């Protein structure tokens, strides 16, 4: 195995806790340094991880023991921090979305290629047993040729629970760029890349009211569409209808994602989770049945995509890769452009469907993943 791979974490907001729970005790990696605009937050996080130190962002980017930067900043800062890490010769794994704007994302991938470093990007939830078991079922021909899919995410908005929800309603936020990466990444794993999109969007409220925390009752501006719907044309011929919304209370959709084939339908669990029940209804079958987990990282957690990136090789490229994230970013920004311009938009990125994840017990990936898995 050699020495653990050194990780530097930039941004210690809410999501950082989930990543650090996975990475702080994993033998493949060592959390070396942590940085945040709030220095006290970095000090507190470092105190809980043996051997880690709280440093400035500049120090972290050039720390001799940091090989990969985990970028957990707000979306608007993703391009700046990732670009600086690449320029410092570090690999990058970034929280979704890859960047706020597509040209920024393209620049990050191109700069990384020129620098000879790797880029990975969330979500890695799609590497768990939920999405991967559904993919294995499709690939085995369980539902026949896949023809169509639907993906639905409806919530009343994150301001109800998040104490600082401003960035959800600023450029780079909204239901599509915030939650869309989970659904669209899953769809790319399930059905392959997308060649064109048609979208529609709305923003019917100009302000939101914070519902919890020390800023309770404070009003924040809404600068982005809060309901986005559209159609994705997959390169393989299947069509997906997608809805992401911060304007509804709930949905009665049978499953967050459904995939319809010539011989049956699959109900796919929430792509914002790693596991969940995959259900199958066969044409003329007796009823819905559960598909037993047969692929994916078992009991996975945030950070498994970073570990997968570190352990990847030529024979098995990283699955939560920057290239996949760039394709997903283009799908999302193309949907918004389609909505604004009232036309079908063809994509410019082409990406290979990521390699499937074999059934990997928790004790295996938690102890150390072998190269090529």
Per-residue confidence at 317, pLDDT binned at 50, 70, 90? confident
Residue 306 has what pLDDT?
A: 96
Per-residue confidence at 372, pLDDT binned at 50, 70, 90? very low
Average predicted confidence (pLDDT) for the chain: 94
Condensed to tens digits (0 to 9), the pLDDT of residues 178-224 reads: 999 999 999 999 999 999 999 999 999 999 999 999 999 999 999 99
Angle between helices 174-191 and 129-139 (to 10 degrees): 40
Would you say residue 330 has pLDDT above 90?
yes
Q: Are 177 and 332 in contact (CB under 8 A)?
A: yes
Average pLDDT for 243-257: 92
Structure tokens at 210: 């914070």
Average pLDDT for 163-188: 94
Average pLDDT for 227-240: 97
Which residues, in sequence order, are CB contacts of 363 under 8 Å at separation 6+? none
Residue 315 has what pLDDT?
A: 61
**Most confident by average pLDDT, 16-25, 256-265, 316-325:** 256-265
Would you say residue 2 has pLDDT above 90?
no
Would you say residue 82 has pLDDT above 50?
yes
Average pLDDT for 156-165: 92
Average pLDDT for 136-147: 98
Residue 20 has what pLDDT?
A: 96
At residue 25, the 3 state secondary structure works out as coil
Condensed to tens digits (0 to 9), the pLDDT of residues 347-371 reads: 999 999 999 999 999 999 888 654 5
Q: Which domains does the chain have, with CATH numbers?
A: 5-124+302-320+349-367 (3.40.50.720), 128-291 (3.30.360.10)
Q: Which pairs with CB-CB distance under 8 Å and at least 24 residues apart come from 214-223?
A: 214/163, 215/163, 215/164, 220/159, 220/165, 220/166, 220/169, 221/169, 222/169, 223/169, 223/170, 223/171
């Amino acid at each position: 195995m050699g020495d653990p791979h050194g990780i530097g974490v930039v941004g210690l907001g809410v999501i950082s806790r989930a990543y650090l729970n996975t990475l702080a005790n994993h033998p493949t990696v060592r959390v070396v340094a942590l940085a945040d605009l709030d220095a006290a937050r970095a000090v507190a996080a470092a105190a809980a991880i043996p051997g880690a130190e709280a440093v400035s962002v500049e120090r972290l980017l050039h720390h001799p023991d940091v090989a990969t930067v985990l970028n957990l900043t707000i979306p608007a800062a993703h391009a700046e921090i990732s670009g600086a890490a690449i320029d410092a010769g570090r690999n990058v794994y970034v929280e979704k979305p890859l960047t706020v704007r597509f040209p920024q994302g393209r620049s990050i991938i191109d700069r990384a290629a020129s620098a000879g470093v790797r880029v990975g990007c969330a979500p890695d939830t799609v590497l768990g047993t939920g999405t991967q078991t559904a993919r294995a079922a499709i690939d085995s021909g369980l539902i026949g040729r896949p023809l169509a899919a639907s993906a639905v995410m409806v919530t009343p908005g994150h301001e109800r629970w998040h104490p600082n929800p401003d960035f959800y309603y600023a450029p780079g936020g909204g239901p599509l760029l915030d939650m869309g990466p989970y659904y669209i990444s899953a769809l790319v794993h399930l059905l392959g890349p997308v060649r064109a999109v048609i979208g529609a969007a709305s923003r019917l409220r100009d302000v939101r009211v914070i519902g919890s925390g020390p800023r309770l009752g404070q009003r924040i501006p809404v600068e982005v569409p809060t309901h986005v719907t559209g159609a994705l044309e997959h390169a393989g011929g299947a069509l997906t209808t997608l809805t992401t919304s911060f304007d509804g209370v709930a949905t009665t959709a049978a499953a967050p994602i459904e995939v319809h084939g010539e011989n049956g339908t699959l109900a796919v669990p929430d792509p914002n989770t790693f596991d969940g029940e995959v259900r199958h209804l066969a044409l003329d079958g007796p009823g819905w049945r559960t598909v037993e987990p047969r692929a994916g990282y078992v009991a996975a957690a945030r950070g498994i995509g970073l570990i997968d990136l570190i352990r990847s090789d030529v024979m098995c490229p990283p699955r939560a890769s920057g290239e996949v994230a760039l394709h997903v970013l283009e799908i999302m920004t193309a949907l918004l452009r389609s909505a604004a311009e009232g036309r079908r938009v063809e994509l410019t990125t082409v990406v290979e469907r990521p390699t499937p994840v074999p059934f990997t017990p928790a004790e295996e990936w938690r102890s150390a993943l072998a190269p090529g898995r």
